[in-house]
Chains A and B, each alone.
Chain A
Amino acid sequence: MIDKVVATFDEAVADIASGARVHCGGFASPFNMPSYLIAALARLGADGLTVASTSAGTGMANAQQLREQLAPIVAWPMDYWDPGLLAELGRIKRLITTFPVSTGHARMWPFEAALERGEVELELIGQGSLAERIRCAKAGIAGFYTPVGPGTATAEGKEVRDFDGVPHVLERALHADFAIIRAWKADRYGNLVFRGARTFNETMAGAARVTIAEVDEVVPLGDLAPDAIHTPGVYVQRIVVRPAAPAQRWEDPC
């Protein structure tokens, strides 16, 4: 019998070893972040991680400021943790991202501070190339030529080749050991349905040896219509359900 549902978040991430490569989904909203998986990974203590994520994450203190700023229009959940938490705890060795630093001078993100201290490595890449590199890993494509990057730092050290007179950069597939993603509904086969912008959550599913999906709900097999499934379960190895009663304190994920 196929049943990919795992009982706890700690169990779901238990075999993520120090030095692992981890793809982390979510972006631009507190409602698409695999927050409980990130918190569990923080509790686990694995360090020296190579993480790929759209953004370095604001970290918890900055998220609290955003929560307060947005309070008049949106109830930002208390159970929000992003990759900034892992950076804050010194667990990230290398980050592959499009958005490593805060936008203003007033506040600094944890990864940015670690970068200033010279403790971490950054591989900066645009979102389109990051997304396609990850999709390639999922799809078994070794690499691709993109017109994005020639003449900029992104192309340094990479093959540049002309196609019909337009320079293209060779970008390689980006594989990982684990992908941690967030979805809405799942069944025991690991079939997934997302809610809202699917971000890297959909892109990363299947781009790692083990894909772990944090979901709001597991429904009986057959409840998800074949036409409505976004990600087939073959890309997903583990499913873990978010708590019915959300954690009320962002201050203590560990």
Chain B
Amino acid sequence: MLEPPRLDAAVMAMVAAREFHDGAVVNLGIGLPLACADYIPEGREVILHSEHGLLGYGPLAQHPDEVDPYVFMVGNRPVRPRPGMVFLSHDESFAIVRGGHIDVTVLGGLQVDTGGNLANTHVPGKIAGNLGGAPDLATCAKRTVVLMYHTARDGSPKVVERCTLPLTAAACVNRIVTDVAVIDVTEGGLLLREVAPGWSAEAVQQVTGATLVIAEDLREVTIG
């Protein structure tokens, strides 16, 4: 049977960005999560944090005249300065993280399991992983959202019973947003809350490596 279409990266970012309340302090991981900065819900002011000491930055710079060489975010990407922006040291930046002052972090993922454990640092085939600031963010943010494709390039599931890759942080994930579903990590297990248009709970379960609990009010993914 032909699989229904999956959500594209922009829609996935919009779904994750629904989490940002007005006034939220948000950290976006590299990869898919970066796009969330472009989809902050209308009318909400959000303060974006970057690990190396940047708080309250604006959108990615697109033209040379928007570039301030001293305003970069992680990944060597110049971003636009924004009124209210603050520069910090690394230790202060992580006092903010460890101290629980980040409301929402959106991180990429390689695997998330039933216990809310996250593996997102060690890409298979590489000699070592890149932790970056992910362990602190995943552990200490008030809410940790993982934004990732539901399955790996080889088709294997990324939502699994038990992570097999090295863990970034244990029992840290609150919500998983993928290209086919929105799943919450709860004490009662992985709760399937939303499915992409055309997808049934059964179809999502088929591409998932862990048993899903189906929410009573299961609905189609909406943005906004």
Check B174 for interface membership: any CB of A closer than 8 A: no
The answer on a CB contact under 8 Å between B132 and A148 is: no
Instruction: Encode contact with A along B160-184: 1 for CB under 8 Å, 0 otherwise.
Output: 0000001111110000000000000
Residues of B within 8 A of A198 (CB): 53, 87-90
Q: Are B87 and A128 in contact, CB atoms less than 8 angstroms apart?
A: no
Q: Say whether B89 contacts A203, CB under 8 Å.
A: yes
With most chain B CB atoms within 10 A of its CB, the pick from A30, A74, A103, A112 is A74
Interface of B is mostly: loop
How many angstroms from the CA of A130 to the CA of B51 in the assembled complex? 12
B78 to A148, Cβ gap below 8 A?
no
> CB of A187 within 8 A of chain B?
no
Taken together as a complex, chains A and B put the C-alpha atoms of A66 and B77 apart, in Å, by 10
Using A196-B71, A197-B52 as known contacts, say yes or no to A128 and B135 having CB atoms under 8 A apart. yes
Q: Which chain A residues in 113-129 approach chain B with CB under 8 Å?
A: 115-116, 122, 124-129
Docked complex: B119-155 residues within 8 A CB-CB of A = 123, 125-136, 139-140
State A29–B135 Cα separation when bound (angstroms).
22
Quick check: is A237 within 8 A (CB to CB) of the other chain? no
Q: Is the CB of B70 within 8 A of A196?
A: yes
Residues in B neighbouring A105, C-beta threshold 8 A: 123, 125-126
The reply to whether B52 and A148 contact each other, CB–CB distance below 8 Å, is: no
Q: Do the beta carbons of A151 and B127 come within 8 Å of each other? A: no
Whether B72 lies near A98 (C-beta < 8 A) is no
**B91 interface contact, C-beta 8 A:** yes
Knowing A98-B133, A103-B130, A148-B140, the reply to whether A134 touches B166 (Cβ < 8 A) is no
A residues lining the B interface (CB < 8 Å): 27-32, 54, 66, 70, 72-75, 98-101, 103, 105, 112, 115-116, 122, 124-132, 134-135, 146-154, 194-203, 230
Given contacts A32-B70, A152-B166, could you give 12 more A-B pairs where the C-beta distance is less than 8 Å?
A54-B52, A103-B130, A112-B127, A125-B131, A126-B133, A131-B89, A131-B90, A132-B98, A147-B139, A148-B136, A196-B87, A198-B88
